[in-house]
């Protein structure tokens, strides 16, 4: 792997590459809001900085890349089937409901929809399944499945192009070929799935509504999707916070959702996945209003629930996948990528984790980076939960800790590059659209590669832990 030991590259060469990367990023919109500048998260064009990136692509074995890509349509189908099994969702999350207020709020909306017998005939999923390559077993293991607000389709597309440009321009000096960087078409595929959903809804006057946070430094990733919808598909999209939906939204007698008289065909959630997005009752009212409407939700409340950690852990139990899938080969492929997952009511595993906390990760029912518990904190948290004897342990799951290969990388943040030893996480996007019995789209749709310093436990780019990267297939 000396080919990829980027630390051996000459300082002057790295300096030149970094300069080229910064120019390219600025010209092509590979940018985020700069949090040291006020209003950078609310006013476009104010306080821009290049997205945190790896300067050069990370090597990844072609076989495992293919394996991850082939899993996407199977996971898409699984999400859809699990979403239709209301009793499985409610039952699997019943203990979590007692312990976790946020999951409880989501389950209440789900129950509400069951009561009024609300059917989602057109179902749209923009998912992302995240994996790490475990070095010990040389196997690809799933970290989590995201069914809501799967971000970075826009920027990850650009990082791939940036790396192709850098390697095309400088690669001869260190023996790399730009054609070996895996192609990435995530943002076009996401826009295409949204556009197809819009046309299935069949109301040419209606628009696509993107649900966003009031402060969003990652807005340009979202604006890429809007720009493609407008330029390629001639579809208008509007951006609204949950609070604005509560203020301006109403449902017409025929079920159509309207905001200030503007009809909505598709609701694309880029917010609403974390408790912080629901600071008051108003946001919950908005979520319920949208769910009751005839608009296509990406995701619907049931798709959202399928992405919770407890459901992931439930699906990993023996015999559970068979409840939802018939194809034995597909089931075997999914099982092969499942890491060890346990609930905290399995006392033997809890004891094991207290004895060897470094072999486990504790995960709460939360999306977005910065929430997991590692190392000695695992032991402390488990012991605290045992003492309190409360239901609070239901808000967590235990997961096998994965130890990926460490590579020599060069990371760029705020215009400065630095050499680090790093590990990477691969996210595969999947798009899924069905109308009643007809599956219109079910495919793998590009990827997100995130790389972080090997000593860092957390992995979110937006949360400030990781950088965007691309794959060099080996």
Cα dist from 342 to 311, 350, 400, whole Å: 11, 9, 9
Q: Are 73 and 444 in contact (CB under 8 A)?
A: yes
Residue 128 among the catalytic residues? yes
234 labeled part of a ligand binding site: no
Q: Is 129 a catalytic residue?
A: no
Q: Cα–Cα distances in Å, from 227 out to 129, 234, 264, 469?
A: 25, 9, 18, 23
Q: Is 156 annotated among the ligand-binding residues? A: no
Catalytic site residue from 97, 123, 309, 379: 309
Residue whose tokens read 């595993």: 349
Considering the candidates 69, 83, 146, 157, report the single residue annotated as catalytic.
146
Catalytic residue among 367, 407, 430, 470: 367
Nearest-angstrom CA–CA distance, 405 and 187:
28
Is 370 annotated to bind a ligand? Reply is yes
Is 369 annotated to bind a ligand? Reply is yes
144 annotated active-site: yes
79, 308 in Cβ contact below 8 A?
Answer: no
- Three-class DSSP labels, 133-156: EECCCCEEEEEEEECCCCCCHHHH
Active site residue 292: no
Q: Is 388 annotated as a binding residue?
A: no
| Per-residue tokens: 299 | 């995701």
- Give the distance between the most distant pair of CA atoms in the chain: 68
The reply, when asked if residue 314 is annotated as ligand binding, is: no
Which residues have CB under 8 Å from 323's CB, separation 6+?
A: 85, 88
Q: Is 59 annotated as a binding residue?
A: no
368 in a known ligand binding site: yes
Is-catalytic flag, 70? Answer: no
Radius of gyration of the chain (CA): 22
Identified catalytic residue from 77, 144, 244, 291: 144
Annotation-wise, does 123 bind a ligand? no
Q: Is 472 known to sit in a ligand binding site?
A: no
Any known ligand binding at 144? yes
Residue 424 counted as an annotated binding residue: no
Q: Active-site residue 146, yes or no?
A: yes
Torsion of CA 406, 410, 411, 417, to 10 degrees: 150
Question: Is residue 231 a known part of a binding site?
Answer: no
Asked if residue 461 belongs to a known ligand binding site, the reply is: yes
* C-alpha torsion sign, points 431, 434, 438, 440: negative
What 3-state class would DSSP assign to 241? coil
Residue 41 is assigned to a ligand binding site: no
309 is in an annotated binding site: yes
Per annotation, catalytic residue among 368, 419, 442, 443: 368
Catalytic residue among 95, 97, 123, 128: 128
452 labeled part of a ligand binding site: yes
Helices (H), ranges, 255-320: 281-292, 301-306, 309-315
- The CA-CA-CA angle for residues 318, 322, 328, to 5°, reads 105
Which of 95, 363, 379, 434 is labelled catalytic?
A: 363
350 is in an annotated binding site: no
- Residue of 40, 76, 151, 300 with catalytic role: 151
The number of helix segments (H) and strand segments (E) in the chain equals 15, 20
Residue spans of alpha helices (H) in 84-173: 86-92, 94-99, 101-115, 153-170
Is 128 annotated in a binding site? The answer is yes
Is 45 marked within a binding site? no
Q: Is 380 among the residues known to form the active site?
A: no
Does 151 participate in catalysis according to the annotation? yes
Q: How far apart are CA 153 and CA 124, in angstroms?
A: 16
Query: Any known ligand binding at 415?
Result: no
Is residue 309 part of the annotated active site? The answer reads yes
Q: Is 402 annotated as a binding residue?
A: yes
Q: Taking each helix axis from N to C terminus, what angle separates 101-115 and 281-292, rounded to the nearest 10 degrees?
A: 30
Q: Can you tell me the distance from the alpha carbon of 183 to that of 83, in angstroms, rounded to the nearest whole number?
A: 31
Is 379 annotated as belonging to a binding site? no
- The answer to whether 29 is a known ligand-binding residue is no
From the annotation, which residues make up the binding site for substrate? 128, 148-151, 216-218, 222, 270-273, 450, 461-462
Active-site residue set: 128, 144, 146, 151, 309, 363, 367-368, 450
From the annotation, which residues make up the binding site? 128, 144, 146, 148-151, 216-218, 222, 270-273, 309, 363-372, 374, 399-402, 425, 450, 452, 458, 461-462
From the annotation, which residues make up the binding site for Mg(2+)? 144, 146, 367
């Amino acid at each position: 792997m000396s080919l990829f030991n980027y630390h051996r590259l000459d300082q002057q060469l790295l300096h030149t590459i970094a300069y080229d990367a910064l120019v390219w990023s600025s010209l092509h919109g590979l940018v985020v809001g700069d949090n040291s500048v006020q209003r950078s998260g609310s006013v476009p064009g104010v306080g821009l900085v290049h997205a945190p990136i790896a300067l050069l692509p990370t090597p990844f074995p072609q076989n495992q890349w293919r394996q991850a890509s082939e899993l996407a349509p199977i996971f898409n189908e699984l999400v859809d089937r699990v979403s239709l099994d209301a009793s499985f969702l409610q039952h699997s999350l019943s203990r979590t409901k007692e312990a976790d207020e946020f999951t409880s709020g989501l389950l209440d909306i789900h129950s509400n929809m069951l009561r009024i017998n609300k059917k989602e005939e057109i179902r749209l999923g923009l998912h992302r399944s995240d994996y790490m390559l475990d070095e010990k077993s040389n196997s690809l293991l799933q970290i989590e499945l995201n069914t809501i607000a799967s971000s970075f389709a826009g920027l990850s597309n650009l990082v791939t192009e940036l790396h192709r440009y850098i390697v095309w321009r400088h690669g001869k000096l260190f023996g790399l070929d730009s054609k070996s960087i895996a192609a990435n078409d995530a943002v076009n595929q996401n826009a295409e799935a949204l556009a197809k959903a819009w046309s299935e809804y069949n109301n040419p006057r209606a628009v696509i509504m993107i649900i966003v946070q009031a402060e969003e430094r990652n807005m340009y990733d979202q604006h890429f999707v809007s720009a493609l919808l407008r330029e390629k598909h001639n579809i208008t999209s509007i951006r609204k916070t949950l609070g604005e939906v509560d203020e301006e939204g109403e449902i017409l007698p025929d079920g159509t959702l309207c905001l200030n008289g503007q009809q909505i065909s598709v609701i694309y959630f880029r917010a609403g996945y974390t408790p912080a997005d629901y600071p008051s009752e108003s946001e919950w009212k908005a979520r319920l209003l949208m769910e009751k409407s005839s608009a296509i939700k990406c995701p619907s409340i049931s798709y959202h629930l399928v992405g919770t950690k407890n459901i992931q852990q439930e699906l990993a139990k023996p015999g559970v996948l068979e409840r939802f899938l018939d194809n034995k080969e597909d089931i075997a492929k999914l099982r092969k990528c499942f890491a060890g997952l346990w609930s905290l009511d399995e006392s033997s595993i809890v004891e094991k984790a207290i004895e060897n906390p470094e072999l486990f990760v504790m995960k709460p029912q939360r999306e977005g980076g910065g929430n997991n518990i590692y190392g000695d904190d695992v032991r402390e948290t488990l012991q605290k939960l045992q003492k309190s004897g409360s239901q609070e342990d239901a808000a967590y799951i235990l997961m096998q800790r994965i130890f990926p290969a460490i590579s020599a990388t060069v990371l760029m943040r705020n215009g400065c590059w630095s050499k680090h030893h790093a590990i990477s996480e691969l996210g595969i996007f999947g798009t899924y659209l069905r109308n009643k019995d007809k599956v219109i789209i079910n495919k793998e749709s590009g990827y997100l590669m995130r790389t972080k310093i090997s000593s860092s436990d957390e992995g979110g780019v937006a949360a400030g832990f990781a950088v965007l990267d691309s794959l060099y297939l080996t």
